[in-house]
Amino acid sequence: MSGEFITNEADVGLPPLQSSRRAVWEYYRIEFLPNGYPGRRTGDELFAHPIYGPYVIADYTAQYRRTQEPRFLEAACRVADAAIDQMTEVGGGLAFLYSQEKSRVSSKKGLWYSGLTQARYVEVFNKLLAQPGTERYREPLSRILISLTVPVEEGGVARYTDDGGLVIEEYPSLAPDCTLNGWTTATVILADYARRTGDPQAWELFRLSVKGLERLIGLFDVPEYATSRYKLTGPATIRLTAEKTDVKVGDCRVVMPASGVFAANDDLDPAGKNLAEGPKVVGNGATQSFVFLLSRITWPAPNRLRFQIEAEEDGIVGLEIGDGPFNPLISTLAPQFYRDLGRFPVSRGENCIEVPVEWVDAEIIAHPTNFGKRIAGRQFNQYHWIHVDTLGKIVSQADSDILRYYRERWSRSPEKWPEISEYQTEDISLERFDPKRHK
């Protein structure tokens, strides 16, 4: 065991973190607050980071199991106690909230929490409970589980499919985001905890999550690029052109069948910040771009874009959607040309234009997993393999033919990567990333 400290553990009375993970800790810019909770320094300020707690608790718990030295268990408990102290009651549960305004560890505004972060606390508290003198973590763990059931509409992370299945959202979004790696990872953690403890609450959450995955898993499949999607949402760039008249766009919304109608001017809304500074005027012959978040959860029904437009005179409004070739090195579609969505007559005065965005014009808006992990000068596809691995663990606990099908289908997908022209660049590695081999 190394006595070398990684950061300021000694200053706050904690033992060393594992030196074998020094590169990871330095990447996170980890530093401990006076109460022993780990944070990240941004500029001259140190802020508690919700996800850092599970990382450090897992580290100290692993060191205790290996060495049986009480100081490591005491350190794990101290960090766990500090985490609980900073959690907030949400819908009867406990959640560690992210806040851009208070902590600067998130780019998203407002107070919110992550389904994946919450599941990580379930995972490490479960490991703590296997150690002596830790029974006090059972009640907080149960309340953390409850946080996974709080609906998105009430500030939580639970979204429900039309047949009652559960989607565990990783990030806050009023529209269905459904980030797959966070959802499946949380589901695996629920299964592990339920199997070890027999907790009926955890088994029920696992069952509902499996049902949700069965309902939506096919929407993540991308056969043309032999991979899976990272999530079901993605930004679409829409160009609006005014002809024969000046127009003022006073409102724009996304209509998602069976999911809702989402307005502009809210950071979490699919219409984003299009009108954050008020209505936009588009002069005769001019073009204005708008960015909308679309969700594939409505497939095969299209999302619909709704514009409230005031025209100075009778005229025409043209709408186009950005498109371009699939780039496996980026995470969103970068428009290089535009497809016509239609030309719509407008009369002097108020007009409402609603146009469907057919999925044939937006297939990679919900972007396929990319080769975005750069190690030793090569680019690896990390998330597709996370999908394969987590689905494998889920089907080991759930008798699901459809999840087993996609697990096997996606595990074989890389066999086709050498045949896909977009993947044949010098930077891209078609191998699976192995941290032991690629350092």
pTM: 0.91
Residue 134 lies in a domain: no
270 pLDDT above the threshold of 90: no
Task: State whether 253 and 212 are in the same domain.
Answer: no
Q: Lowest-pLDDT range, 99-103, 134-138, 274-278, 347-351?
A: 99-103
Residue where one domain finishes, among candidates 84, 109, 134: 109
Residue 121 lies in a domain: no
Task: State whether 14 and 74 are in the same domain.
Answer: yes
Closest CA to 296 of 320, 270, 322: 270
pLDDT mean across residues, the chain: 92
The number of domains in the chain is 3
Tokens representing residue 204 in the block: 């029920």
278 pLDDT above the threshold of 70: yes
Residue 141 lies in a domain: no
48 pLDDT above the threshold of 60: yes
Residue where one domain finishes, among candidates 361, 386, 407: 361
Cβ atoms of 171 and 110 within 8 Å: the answer is no
3-state secondary structure of 407: helix
Q: Lowest-pLDDT range, 67-76, 91-100, 273-282?
A: 273-282
Omega into 435 within 30° of 0, i.e. cis? no
Task: State whether 237 and 170 are in the same domain.
Answer: no
CB-based contacts of 148, cutoff 8 Å, min separation 6: 93, 115, 118, 119, 156, 157, 158, 168, 186, 190, 205
Question: How many secondary structure helices (H) and strands (E) does the chain include?
Answer: 10, 22
Task: State whether 211 and 298 are in the same domain.
Answer: no
- If 0-12 CB within 10 Å is exposed, 13-18 middle and 19+ buried, where does residue 108 land? middle
Residue where one domain finishes, among candidates 339, 361, 383: 361
Domain that holds residue 41: 1-109
373-385 pLDDT, tens digit per residue, is 888 788 999 999 9
358 pLDDT above the threshold of 70: yes
Token pair 């998105």: residue: 152
Residue 295 lies in a domain: yes
Closest CA to 209 of 177, 167, 261: 167
266 pLDDT above the threshold of 60: no
Residue 138 lies in a domain: no
Task: State whether 171 and 275 are in the same domain.
Answer: no
| pLDDT of amino acid 2 | 45
229 pLDDT above the threshold of 70: yes
Q: Lowest-pLDDT range, 101-115, 218-232, 314-328?
A: 101-115
Q: Rounded mean pLDDT of 412-435?
A: 93
Task: State whether 354 and 382 are in the same domain.
Answer: no
| pLDDT of amino acid 103 | 47
Q: Rounded mean pLDDT of 248-272?
A: 77
Q: Rounded mean pLDDT of 168-182?
A: 89
CA distance 113 to 47: 16
Give the model's confidence band at 434: pLDDT under 50 very low, under 70 low, under 90 confident, else very high.
Answer: confident
83-105 pLDDT, tens digit per residue, is 999 999 999 999 999 875 554 55
Task: State whether 152 and 219 are in the same domain.
Answer: yes
Q: Rounded mean pLDDT of 73-92?
A: 96
CA distance 195 to 266: 41
| pLDDT of amino acid 1 | 39
Cβ atoms of 40 and 47 within 8 Å: the answer is yes
| pLDDT of amino acid 82 | 97
Residue 123 lies in a domain: no
Token pair 């087993």: residue: 404
Task: State whether 171 and 85 are in the same domain.
Answer: no
pLDDT above 70 as % of the chain: 93
| pLDDT of amino acid 255 | 94
Residue 136 lies in a domain: no
Q: Lowest-pLDDT range, 25-29, 330-334, 363-367?
A: 25-29
Residue 132 lies in a domain: no
Task: State whether 223 and 237 are in the same domain.
Answer: no
> Which long-range contacts (C-beta less than 8 Å, at least 24 apart) are formed by 431-438?
431/380, 432/380, 432/385, 433/373, 433/375, 433/380, 433/381, 433/382, 433/385, 438/375, 438/376, 438/378, 438/380
Give the model's confidence band at 437: pLDDT under 50 very low, under 70 low, under 90 confident, else very high.
Answer: low
265 pLDDT above the threshold of 50: no
Task: State whether 247 and 336 are in the same domain.
Answer: yes
Cβ atoms of 247 and 309 within 8 Å: the answer is yes
Task: State whether 271 and 351 are in the same domain.
Answer: yes
Task: State whether 355 and 247 are in the same domain.
Answer: yes
